[in-house]
Structure 1
Amino acid sequence: MTTRFTLAASLAALVATGALAQGAMPAEGETLSDNQTFTYRVLDEFPSIDPGMVEDVEGSHVARQLFEGLLNQDAEGNVIPGVATEWEVSEDGLTYTFHLRPEARWSNGEPVTAHDFVYAWQRAASPELASPYSWYLELMQIENVSEVIAGERPVEDLGVRAIDDRTLEVRITTPLPYFLQMLTHTTTFPVPRAVVEEHGAAWTQPGNMVGNGAYVLSERVPQERLVMTKNPEYWDAENVILEEITALIINDENQALTRYLAGELDQTDIPIGQYPRLLAERPDEAHALPNLCVYYYNLNLSESGPEALKDQRVRQALSLAIDRDLLVENVLAGGQVPAYGLGHWAVAGYEVPDDLFGMTMTQEERNAEAQRLMQEAGYGTGGEPLTLEILYNTSDAHQQLAVAIGQMWKQTLGVDTTLANMEWQTFLDARGSQQYEVARAGWCADYNEASSFLDIVTTSSGYNDSAFSNPELDALMLEARTAEDTLPLYQQVDRIIAEQVPVIPIYFYSSNILMDPSIRGYPFENAQENWYGRTMYRVAEQ
């Protein structure tokens, strides 16, 4: 027995119209501008825009314009059809059968087929590619995925096959209620085999890259800009209004603000601490958007890390001595929420435990306990001197936070800090290979479920950059995959993280952005902030 999901059923609130357009839908009375471009700012160069290699948020935003997966998200973050228009799920929840839209085309005019998805998933799992996100396929519980990644089985054994050109079958080993949500992630997007094999690593360059999204890559100048233009071969191209999307790489937040105010940008991040002022000055442009992201510090617990950090008391003291309320209210000042665990308060179905380590104390109590723990461990004031280096990717905001936290550690614990910054790709490499002591980190949910946050500290996670290993935590996360009630398991994992401190959660993000009010269709209600240029447009000035 299977459960069948159709295009109309998944979009029951919409009127079915053949292919069911998903492009921009201007409101009644809106007049479109002659200028249908959108220019936004990013902090760093994109490490990759190859769906199989993307590992950061900004790279995912680009890949989402250039490619389209089986499923998309609507403005509220709900799953809607992408290349797949219908799908069935077996009674045991282990087999998914997807039916692809016949009108889906690559930007070179070739049809998008089930074979393209099979190739993309096999490629992402292959040891040869060494994708930084191959572990995500393991989270999806795809049949034989761990053995394929380890090189113990051929990629052809991965639990995905093309029944025919328009029918894709996916086999998983554990029923996952959020499996469909996971299919909006860029790692699951199709890639064109012939193009990849012809151009190799250069296939993502302008002129070589072939995608199936609403836009094509037309220009890329490293460390300067990336330009995407409308793809006439996209299946819903007639309803795509924005003609061009440009990402400008600007490393300095204040310079980006200046360029926004000069009209060079349609969107930019608000520099740290300036949201209240800009909201008062530009209420129609300043936005504070809660999103599914957490800011934290990794502590290097590997053999290459400082000896002091191997002592749980030291880690606890460092966490307790951070005045999170002061940071979010006075330094950040943009609607952020203090974090004492990794489980996000806004995740569907999750409730943050009210007894996380340090959470119920006053800051005075936290400081006193931090001093006691550090003294007991023999470091800091009255003990062995301790100096820690805080590594961060180049950004004024990251620097200001590191300075503030360093001052808190010095004042409360007598711990000295030094600061080191690197450009984005170098920083990722250093952090991922444990070439640091303390490192800034941020994590945004790949799907709206608590495991997307808590899995990153499991032993096998590709983003366990602290090199933490706790068998109890691993067992709880494994049990949660088949549990009817996951909440108590997830909450216990959050307690372990807060108490053992492999990472120091600091705050849950609020996206503080300026957006030109002439731009419409941005998904302000999507907590993951997965945006699609095909739903956006610019209105004429009144």
Structure 2
Amino acid sequence: MSRLAQLTLTTFLTAGIATVGLAQETHPETGEALAADQTFTYRILDEFSSLDPQVVEDVTGSEVARDLFEGLMNQDENGELVPGVATGYEASEDKTTYTFTLRDDAKWSNGDPVTAQDFVFAWRRAVSPELASPYQWYMSLMSIENADAIIAGEMAPEELGVTAVDDRTLEVKLSQPLSYFPQMVTHATTFPAPQKVVEEFGADWTKTENIVSNGAYVLTEHIPNERSTRERNEMYWDNENTIIDKTVALVINDENVALTRFLAGELDRTEIPAGQFPRLSKEHPDEAISFPRLCNYYYTFNLSDSGPEAFKDVNVRKALALAIDRDIITKNVLAGGEVAAYSFTPAAVANFEPPVSEMQEMTQAERDAKAKELLAEAGYGPDNPLKFGMMYNTSDNHQKIAVVMSQMWKQKLGVEVELSNMEWKVFLEVRGNQDFELARGAWCGDYNEASTFLDLLTTPSGYNDGKYSNADYDALIQEAKSADDSAPLYTEAEQIFAQDMPVIPVYHAAGVYMMDSDVGNWPVNNVEQNWYSKDLYKVAE
């Protein structure tokens, strides 16, 4: 076995901080005076889907999970891998076996040691048909040996290619080489789970009174649809160097209400409402920020048997995609640094430049003319207008975009759209059950590689809610996993996407926030936006 990477802790730990009290006076690296109250309060749009790392499926829930639980590896403020529970890893020369060495001072919040078996238990849970995790597909994407057969119910979870060699050594066997595998273990699905707690309390194990976690924070309060609070975990191996004492997430469904509360000093971070960044950046230049994010925003066609017959016609799909004036949406409606999208993969992804499509090279006038032509070819026009329902989850920003898109289609193509919105968890269920015609979609990369986006459109993907299926596309994505140079394969996949148009790409996202200037070390250079409260701090005013 040859050494691929051995990450050490010496560059990540700060020596000489003997007490929490000292840490709260000045920052050990920057020398900045620290605020006496180290509480970070931020706004989320909806109640998160779960606190169970093997069940959570949304961005806000994953943010909480990263504080409560710690996986094998973490990310720093630039998105680079740094040690988590593992101090490092080795890979076999063929990149099909990864061996992680776990630290000996990692503990659960109840004082029990964190061992390799805790990861084995968690990863078996993630693929088990019994749990039916919405992120089962992610374990398949990781190419862990026997994952697909276990998910299909053909093998027992105990056959998963992950072994606790001893308490401090975790061995993972893959079904094919995967050079970016270490990047994937920063995801919540791969975090450890406390077996005896899960088995004692079942689905209730993540309730405040039951939960045991191994991250830098513990859950001290959770009022669904209102707020959750996590506070310092005294058992965390690096608690001595953690500065933020408490992080509070407040559920505020209205972006404008959240902005008002931020300006009143009640929040340290909130998203900027659509269209307000130009004004706020002038009025609050030290607090209004925008930076690229590894996320896309799109609308997906229901191409399953339950979907409308009209969407089975690629001309209809292309017509609707062409008629969207993305510049109006990004520059006028949102105006926060978002980029018009003509590919599924954002340009912010590492080591891949999405190809320029025919649609992208057209002027908007040319797109509109082509859209009318294609829709007429499909049999729709003034005497037979295209009609369908368009669904999004409740949000002022989502509503504005949906309204603008529907108006563009009405004015240019005579299309009649019925808009509907629903609460987040209901929306996820309805979309996941293909009980829709056209539905909002968005994806933030689980790791920084093009496959985190392109895999979503493969036939077996758990988040292919539109049930798009193209055998050539599937083969390209599968081949790319073990290719020495995957970029040409990804390029070809994007070209198939442009021809089939299974979803309408709208824009590639930016992080557009009001951020209190007292907050230090927000990871603006990490396009994945995997942030950890333990890495933040608040400066004295």
What's the TM-score bracket when you normalise by the shorter of the two chains?
A: over 0.9
Q: Are residues 334 and 169 of structure 1, via their aligned partners in 2, closer, same or farther at CA, if it must alter by over 3 Å?
A: same
Cα distance in 2 between the residues matched to 1:272 and 1:73:
29
Q: Which amino acid aligns with 1:378?
A: G
Which residue type is aligned with residue 362 of structure 2?
M
Work out whether residues 375 and 383 of structure 1, in 8 Å CA contact, stay in contact via their aligned partners in 2.
no
Retained in 2: the 8 A contact 1:6–1:87? yes
**Cα deviation per residue 1:404-436 (whole Å; 9 max; x = unaligned)?**
000000011110111111100000000011111
TM-aligned CA deviation for residue 18 of structure 1: 11
Q: Which residue of 1 aligns with 2:538?
A: 538
1:63-142 correspondence to structure 2 within 5 Å: 63-142=65-144
Percent identity (aligned): 57
Distance 2:407 2:113 in 1: 58
* Deviation per residue, 1:107-149 (Å, 9 max, x gap): 0000000000000000000000000001001110000000011
Matched, 1:334 2:332: no
Matched, 1:41 2:43: yes
Question: Does the Cα contact within 8 Å between 2:14 and 2:241 map onto a contact in 1?
Answer: no
Q: Which amino acid aligns with 1:391?
A: M
Indicate conservation of the 8 Å contact 2:109/2:214, yes or no: yes
Q: Distance in 1 between matches of 2:371 and 2:104?
A: 62
1:27-426 matches, within 5 Å, as: 27-354=29-356, 356-379=357-380, 381-426=381-426
**Distance (Å, rounded) in 1 between the aligned partners of 2:16 and 2:34:** 25
Q: Deviations over 1:327-356 (max 9, x none)?
A: 1111110111111111210111101112x1
The aligned residue for residue 427 of structure 1 is 427
* 1:437 aligned residue: 437
Give the superposed CA RMSD.
1.6
C-alpha distance in 2 between matches for 1:456 and 1:18: 47
Q: Please, which runs of 5 or more residues in structure 2 have no aligned partner?
A: 18-22
Alignment partners' CA distance in 2, 1:384 and 1:248: 47
Residue 5 of structure 1: SS of its match in structure 2?
A: coil
For residues 63 and 382 of structure 1, the distance between their equivalents in structure 2, rounded to whole angstroms, comes to 51
The answer to whether the Cα contact below 8 Å between 1:253 and 1:269 also exists between their aligned partners in 2 is: yes
Q: Is contact 2:14–2:28 with CA below 8 Å preserved after alignment?
A: no
- Aligned counterparts of 2:12 and 2:538: Cα–Cα separation in 1: 23
Letter in 2 for 1:510: A
Contact kept? 1:357, 1:495, Cα under 8 Å: no
- 1:29 deviation in Å? 3.6
Between the aligned partners of 2:51 and 2:165, the Cα distance in structure 1 is: 29
Question: Residues of 1 paired with 2:403 and 2:157: CA distance?
Answer: 47
Q: Give SS of 1:488's match.
A: helix
Per-residue displacement from partner, 1:419-456 (whole Å, max 9, x unpaired)? 11110000000001111111011100000000000000
Q: Is the 8 A contact 2:13 2:241 kept in 1?
A: no
Give the distance between the partners of 2:129 and 2:504, measured in 1 at CA: 32
Secondary structure at 2:3 match in 1: strand
Alpha-carbon distance between aligned partners in 2 of 1:13 and 1:412, rounded to the nearest angstrom: 58
User: What code does the residue aligned with 2:340 have?
Assistant: P
Secondary structure of the residue aligned to 1:173 is: coil
- Deviation per residue, 1:68-94 (Å, 9 max, x gap): 000000000001110001221111111
Equivalent-residue separation in structure 2 for 1:15 and 1:234 (angstroms): 14
Shift of 1:241: 1.1
Q: 1:103 to 1:341 in 2, by over 3 A?
A: same
Distance, in Å, in 2 between the alignment partners of 1:216 and 1:241 is 15
For residue 245 of structure 1, report the CA deviation from its aligned partner: 0.4
Deviations 1:35-89 (A, max 9, x none): 1100000000111111000111111000000000000000000011100012211
In structure 1, runs of 5+ residues without a counterpart are none
Distance 2:50 2:13 in 1: 38
* 1:485 corresponds to 2:509: no
CA distance in 2, matches of 1:303, 1:46: 30
TM (norm. structure 1) is 0.96
Instruction: Return closer, same or farther for 1:531/1:289 CA change in 2, 3 Å cut-off.
Output: same
SS of corresponding position for 1:343:
coil
What is the TM-score when the length of structure 2 is the normalising length? 0.97
Structure 1 stretches of 4+ moved >4 Å: 11-19, 23-27
In the alignment, the residues of structure 2 paired with residue 262 and residue 209 of structure 1 have an alpha-carbon distance, to the nearest angstrom, of: 34
- Check if 1:461 corresponds to 2:443: no
Cα separation, 2, equivalents of 1:16 and 1:536: 15
Residues 344, 350 of structure 1: 8 Å contact kept: no
Pairwise CA distance, 1:481 = 1.2
Per the TM alignment, residue 5 of structure 1 is displaced from its structure 2 partner at its CA by 2.9
Report deviation, 1:495: 1.2
For 1:211 and 1:286, how far apart are their aligned partners in 2? 34
